[in-house]
């Protein structure tokens, strides 16, 4: 593992009961880089991301996260490590009885931090994602784009080193996709590593005008660095 790598995969494979999904993956996620992870539906993008934040353990090979071997990590180790990894899930689950600001602050509560003491930071974060006027709204009242932005705010509230976003623009229109992409680009310019799983080639092309994005493609059960002609 090189000093500037955050996550290393060495000959990693993952097998479901139905057969092998991913195989022979050897790559590194570098600090400060911006990645797109592409591949057809069902190719294993979500599984790849889950292994990167310790939700799944590979059936073969080794994964090192911030210098720690995933197989040797305890549940507490993984919980501490996840404070350094922000995850934007594809399905954007929230607690419907809590308003937007309380949902976004949940990681602070889980980490034993006082969200009231971070009120100013919470307000700034809400304004950054364009939800300052929706702080008191309940999740069922939000549009698809608002839910995605709330999910992004929740993912970055602990100031993680890396953000893993699973199809964050899959359920929003092009204008909102561009807005979400711009937020992720801003995070990368602040020094955060960003990995976006997406099948939207138009989004990838748009990102390449803003940031030096690397494209990882899942093909034939393996992850490979794609060419620059996307």
> What gap in Å lies between CA 182 and CA 168, rounded to an integer?
12
Do 67 and 145 touch, CB atoms closer than 8 A? no
The neighbour count for residue 173, using CB atoms within 10 Å, is 11
What was the pLDDT predicted at 170? Answer: 80
- How confident is the chain (230 residues) per 10-residue block, as mean pLDDT? 77 90 94 94 93 95 96 93 93 92 88 62 89 94 93 93 92 86 93 93 87 92 71
Strands (DSSP E) found in the chain: 5-16, 19-30, 34-38, 60-65, 68-69, 85-88, 162-166, 193-197, 213-219, 222-225
What was the pLDDT predicted at 115? Answer: 54
What was the pLDDT predicted at 228? Answer: 44
What was the pLDDT predicted at 119? Answer: 62
What was the pLDDT predicted at 118? Answer: 58
What was the pLDDT predicted at 197? Answer: 95
What was the pLDDT predicted at 227? Answer: 60
What was the pLDDT predicted at 126? Answer: 92
Alpha helices in 45-105, H assignment, sequence order: 45-52, 75-82, 100-104
């Amino acid at each position: 593992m090189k000093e500037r790598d955050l996550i290393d995969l060495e000959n990693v494979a993952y097998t479901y009961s139905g057969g092998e999904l991913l195989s022979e993956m050897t790559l590194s996620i570098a600090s400060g880089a911006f990645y797109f992870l592409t591949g057809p539906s069902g190719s294993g993008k979500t599984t790849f991301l889950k292994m990167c934040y310790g939700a799944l353990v590979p059936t073969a090979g080794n994964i090192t996260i911030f210098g720690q071997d995933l197989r040797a990590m305890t549940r507490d180790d993984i919980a501490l490590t996840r404070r350094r990894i922000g995850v934007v899930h594809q399905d954007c689950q929230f607690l419907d009885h809590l308003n937007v600001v309380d949902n976004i602050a949940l990681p602070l509560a889980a980490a034993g931090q006082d969200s009231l003491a971070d009120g100013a930071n919470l307000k700034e974060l809400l304004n950054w994602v364009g939800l300052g006027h929706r702080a008191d709204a309940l999740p069922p009242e939000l549009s698809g784009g608002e839910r995605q932005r709330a999910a992004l705010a929740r993912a970055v509230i602990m100031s993680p080193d890396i953000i893993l976003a699973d199809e964050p623009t899959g359920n929003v229109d092009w204008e909102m996709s561009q807005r979400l992409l711009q937020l992720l680009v801003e995070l990368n310019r602040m020094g955060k590593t960003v990995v976006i799983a997406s099948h939207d080639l138009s989004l990838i092309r748009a990102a390449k005008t803003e940031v030096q994005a690397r494209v990882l493609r899942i093909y034939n059960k393996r992850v490979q660095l794609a060419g620059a002609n996307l």
